[in-house]
Chains A and B, each alone.
Chain A
Amino acid sequence: MTGTLEGCAGPGFGSVPRKEDGRFVRGRGRFVDDIALPGMLHGAVLRSPYAHARIRAVDATAAESHPKVRAVITGETLAARGMAWMPTFSHDVAAVLATDKVRYQGQEVAFVVAEDRYAARDALALIDVDYEPLPPVVDARLALSPEAPVIRDDLLDRTDNHVFDWETGDADATAALFARAAHVSECDLVYPRVHPAPLETCGTVADFDRISGKLTVHATAQAPHAHRMLYARIAGIPEHRIRIIAPDIGGGFGNKVGMYPGYLCAVVGSIVTGAPVKWVEDRSENLMSTSFARDFHMHGEIAADADGHILAIRVSVLADHGAFNATAQPSKFPAGFFGVFTGSYDIAAAHCRVTGVYTNKAPGGVAYACSFRVTEAVYLVERLVDVLARDTGRDAAELRMANLLTPDRFPFRSATGWEYDSGDYPRALRTALEMADYPSVRAEQKDRWAAFERTGKGPLTGVGMSVFTEAVGAGPRRLMDIMGLGMADGAELRVHPTGSAVLRLSCMSQGQGHETTFAQIVSHELGLPVDAVEVIQGDTDNTPFGLGTYGSRSTPVSGAAASVAAGKVREQARQVAAVLLEVAADDLRWDVGTGTADGGSFSVAGVPGVSVSLREIAMAAHGGLDLPDGVEGQLAASTVYNPPNLTFPFGAYVCVVDVDPGTGEVEVRRFVAVDDCGVRINPMIVEGQIHGGLADGIGMALMELVAFDDDGNHLSASFMDYLLPTAMECPPWELAATVTPSPHHPLGAKGVGESATVGSPPAVVNAVLDAIGVRHADMPLTPAHVWRALQGRPIRPDIAIR
């Protein structure tokens, strides 16, 4: 780590070790599959082998007669309870268990509840489903053709596979700029379907108490409060009788935002058997049936004047949404935040059209660390800028530098209406290029190319970059909601009589280190040691309402809430201190101290030596002190934080690769990442997040892909077929920071969880294409894809390799 963290100093902040690691490194984390309740039964899901088929009959009698089977739930069982279909996050419905048709391979058809997980699996083979196979829609580009079979014939009057059209920007202004541009470059790009693939798959233990009527759901839930409302709506159980408990979660990346049929079946299984029911999906089930990500087919155009100034960008997108439109994103944003596709550049006009289509593939979407499709937007613009540089004979770094927004333009309203809060893009790019020693890499590249032309042997060197702008921390609530729930989050802070504290949050860590970061925020505000602040999350009976953790929103939203709640407690303490010291509250000065168990202190202005610590105040606030009217006593406050705007973290990445032109193999030799996420509360945790995101980016750029064959068979249903990067594919990361605080966040912080995932794929792809001198080829750039791109016959990634 180099660069400056100026502006991040402050009590409580810094690279303290993660509190949660004490249990994780000892193997003492407690995940859903570690939960064993007395009398607990086990569920297993029967899935469709077909991508598209009509269900003629489901015969479960043989399974029901298995001696260890306690219940078999089919689509008909659920239909009788009005639960065969559930609402999605995107104004659609999705099947819980199929009744009429199956619409993708791996779709849920029946659910067995048995005394052990072995018997549950055995009984699946005893269920007889009579399928009538139908032709599937696999190629998204053919989904709207008149011959395409209609996937959603469950919807009234549905005659095609069209889901939505959405547009943003000013079409006329954009067209006018294109008309007078000296140069226009076009490019077709596919951001193929990938999967979040968290280490821990999704799972639940549903426990319905027939006596109290209370349902307790232990589940892998990134958004426990939103889930509680969904269970209430779908299962008809009053919301106050539902408790969601998310234990430790082993990675989410958006995969654990949505509601899955297995969860609901476990609930029904518990209701009908009267026993707790555990269901934990296996790896193949996770990869085949849960929320995918991306699957955007983009046509981009970029217009520039004769001097290389970018004038306008125009995009049309075909979005493959799978069989049900279940993308998890703010409900008024059918293409997520793709509208930020003008990126980090000063672009006068832009326009974009997105068409969503149904295909016979798993639903979900917009998971996987993407900040609601900012990933696709950044990839589009960063690839287009490289194409423009190539087409006009300009250096990619110089072209970017000449078009970046400058610091004086902030707050900046983009051509598509987004208000960027703060940024210094040229500084980030300059820092990255200096660290990479850009001129010498270019010189080396030239030498390598010359040697290749002489001998026909590699390696070839390439350098690629991206200057990305992220958009994270949704709401505000007036603009952004999930199923009508405004995107604002609560926090409750209580300081105990002896001066330690408990903070309750609506967000939910999946490995991000919330227990540490949020304790540091309280420490920063109140001067208490980080260890003296307990952080409670994930339990809906014990935490305030909020929308949860995804889209890098924990620090921007819940972090702000924690800060505001702590500020309220500090003001309560001031009132108590005023009584203790017998002075007016306004005469007290706050000193946050050095993080001792005493906490911060109030002293009397102009009277040296007269002060009282937070610990003393806490005891007094709970004691017999006679408090004035309006001061309630105790130290506790709650808040609901409704963010005024998104925060816009950014960064500049430079990637250096070597490519073997004889085999197409790529080695990522260097990766320089300069990130600016505003104030860093725990720089070590931030760097860890960046490491993970960079690895993600290398994975997507070079190997990750969910592909289907012509019959709609899923070709990536195991970790032998869906490749995740390992340490061997990752170079030693070269990180640096710049700090441009967010002007509207109480701590100046911006979210960082997804920055590196968003920013790194284009840097890697740009580097590989730069090495082989090819204008464009789609991800993943496996050896085969690279070699075929070199032959001038690039492989289409979204359909099976033939």
Chain B
Amino acid sequence: MQVPAFFEYQRATSVAHVVTLLERFGPEARIVAGGHSLIPMMKLRLAQPELLVDVNDLHELAGITVEDGVLRIGALTRHAELLASPLAGEHFPILHDAERVIADPVVRNRGTIGGSVCQADPSEDLSGVFTALRAVAVVRGVDGDRTVPMREFFHGPYETAVRPAEILVELRVPLQPGAGSAYVKVDRRVGDWAVAAAGAVVSLGPGGVVEQVGIGLTAVGDADFTAVEAEDLLRGRVADEYTFAAAGEAAATHCRPVADQRGPVDYKRHLAGELTVRALRDATARAHRGGSTE
């Protein structure tokens, strides 16, 4: 039976308490929320933290609201809550597209949004979603809050801008009225990590010209989960199949997938292009309908 190594455990009573504990124990302390990545790693002894700081009582970290033109998603919000949130779905259908294909209901009931992005797994769905959305992370430490754009949040596999004595408290997504968004993923089986996935957020101007676009790519080796070249190519051009194909090609060319049992490099590169096209197609169709899924 898999059992973790010895560790201490504290149930945090406030965010300030979390920061104090992290400060005191240093980098060998870990925050546990849903625990769906950390606990398996501990059981396999790939992770051996000395202290677990349980944040599950910190209800102030949970919840989805819209304030001042910003969709705010608390770090402790469960996947299931995001999937069930009409507010999130109304503004950004991409969030529901992605949540529908993340793991399974049991995991979604427990796993958190903050935990997912802080784990920074190279195949994490939400990483590509929030970079496509140009979300901003709010991180709290002893010196108070600071913000980090999601496009600067990821520092490599399993590494983020969050420092050892800091905690992610919130993700902020600026509302983009009229924008359409979508997420598409290929996996080997429901609940599996993505072989590749793409998210797109498209704002159209007069004549169907792309005013702003965000493209997030997952599992194809982009450290920042973003297809910048494809975005650059799209801005100012008419959103049609021809442009999508060119954007797909740019995404495929510039991604850096590695071969593993989910697929060889050429296939993943192909998928980066194909899924970019499909995400753009769906997001644009939604933009034409004013952003909604209907």
- Residues 222-257 of chain B, each 1 if its beta carbon lies under 8 Å from chain A, else 0: 000000000000000000000000000000000000
Q: Does B175 contact A (CB under 8 A)?
A: no
* Min CB–CB distance B33 → chain A (angstroms): 20
Asked if A283 is at the interface of the complex by the 8 Å CB criterion, the answer is: yes
Judge if B24 is at the interface, Cβ distance under 8 Å: no
B261–A716 touching, CB < 8 Å: yes
In residues 34-66 of chain A, which contact B (Cβ within 8 Å)? Answer: none
Check B1–A782 contact: CB distance below 8 A: no
The stretch among A14-22, A128-136, A783-791 that forms the contact with chain B is A783-791
| Residue in chain B with minimal CB distance to A42 | B1
A2 close to chain B: CB less than 8 A: no
Size band of the interface chain B makes with A: 20 to 34
CA distance A728 to B191 in the complex (A): 10
Residue in A118, A121, A800 whose CB lies within 8 Å of B261 = A800
Which residues on A sit within 8 Å (CB–CB) of B266?
788
Where the two chains meet, the residues of B that have a C-beta atom closer than 8 Å to any C-beta of A are 1-6, 43-45, 104, 186-193, 195, 259-264, 266-267, 270-271, 274-275, 278
Partner of A787, one of B43, B190, B270: B270
Q: In the complex, what distance in Å separates the CA atom of A663 from the CA atom of B273? A: 10
- Kindly state whether residue A795 has any CB partner on chain B within 8 Å: yes
Q: Residue of A at shortest CB range from B278? A: A662
A795 to B45, CA, bound (A): 33
A795 near B264: Cβ-Cβ < 8 Å: yes
- Residues from chain A with a CB closer than 8 A to the CB of B190 are 726, 728-729
Residue A287 lies at the interface, judged by CB distance under 8 Å to chain B: no
Q: Is the interface of A mostly helix, strand, loop or mixed?
A: loop
Near B by CB (< 8 A), chain A positions 644-696 give: 662-665
Contact A663 B189 (CB under 8 A): no
Contacts of B278 in A (CB 8 A): 662
Complex formed: what's the CA distance from A716 to B229 in Å?
35
B261 touches A802 (CB 8 A): no
Chain B residues closer than 8 Å to A284, beta-carbon distance:
2, 44
A residues in contact with B44, CB < 8 Å:
284, 718
User: Closest approach, in angstroms, between the C-beta of A293 and any C-beta of chain B?
Assistant: 18
Can you list 6 A-B pairs with a CB-CB distance of less than 8 A? A121-B3, A284-B44, A703-B189, A720-B193, A728-B189, A787-B267
Main secondary structure of the interface of B (DSSP, over half): loop
8 Å CB contact of B186 from A121, A663, A705? A663
**Which A-B residue pairs are the 5 nearest by beta carbons?**
A784-B263, A728-B190, A282-B2, A784-B267, A782-B188
In the assembled complex, the Cα of A157 lies from the Cα of B263 at a distance in Å of: 42
In angstroms, Cα B44 to Cα A783, docked, is: 29
A281–B1 Cα distance when bound, in Å, is 5
Q: Would A802 and B2 be within 8 Å (CB), given that A729-B189, A788-B264 are in contact?
A: no
A contact residues around B5 at 8 Å (CB): 118, 121-122
Name which residue of chain B comes closest to A699, CB basis. Answer: B189
Hey, which chain B residues are within 8 Å of A788, CB to CB? Answer: 264, 266-267
Are the C-beta atoms of B195 and A784 separated by less than 8 Å? yes
Contact between A118 and B3, CB atoms less than 8 A apart:
yes
- How far is A122 from B5 in the complex, measured between Cα atoms in Å? 7
Query: Are B3's CB and A663's CB within 8 A?
Result: no
**Least Cβ distance of B43 to chain A in Å?**
8
CB A103 to nearest CB in B, in angstroms, measures 23
Residues of B within 8 A of A726 (CB): 104, 189-191
Q: State how many angstroms separate the Cβ of A190 from the closest Cβ of chain B.
A: 16
- Whether A725 is near chain B, meaning CB under 8 Å from some CB there, is yes
A117 at the interface (CB under 8 A from B): yes
| A195-215 contacts to B (CB < 8 Å) | none
Distance of A281 Cα from B45 Cα, bound (Å):
15
Residues in B whose Cβ lies below 8 Å from that of A800: 261
Contact B264 A122 (CB under 8 A): no
Assembly CA distance A33 to B260 (angstroms) = 35
Which chain B positions have C-beta within 8 A of A280? 1
Is the pair A801, B259 in contact by a Cβ cutoff of 8 Å?
yes
| Cβ distance B187 to chain A, nearest Cβ, rounded Å | 8
Cα distance A707–B259 when bound, in Å? Answer: 14
A442 and B140 CA atoms in complex are apart in Å by: 61
Known: A284-B2, A784-B195. A721 touches B271 (CB 8 A): no
CB distance from B80 to the nearest CB of A (A): 17
Asked whether A723 is an interface residue with its Cβ less than 8 Å from the other chain, the reply is yes
A480 close to chain B: CB less than 8 A:
no
Return B83 CB to nearest CB of chain A, in Å: 16
- Smallest beta-carbon distance A285→chain B, Å: 9
Docked CA distance A726–B260 (Å): 22
Please tell me if the beta carbons of A122 and B6 are within 8 angstroms of each other in the complex. Answer: yes
Known contacts A783-B187, A801-B260; 19 further A-B pairs (Cβ under 8 A): A121-B45, A281-B1, A282-B2, A663-B275, A720-B192, A721-B261, A725-B189, A783-B188, A783-B195, A783-B263, A784-B263, A784-B264, A784-B267, A787-B267, A787-B270, A788-B266, A788-B267, A800-B261, A801-B264
Query: Which of A284, A663, A702 has most B Cβ within 10 Å?
Result: A663
A715 within 8 A of B: yes
Chain A 770-802 per-residue mask, 1 if CB under 8 angstroms from chain B, else 0: 000000000000111001100000010000111
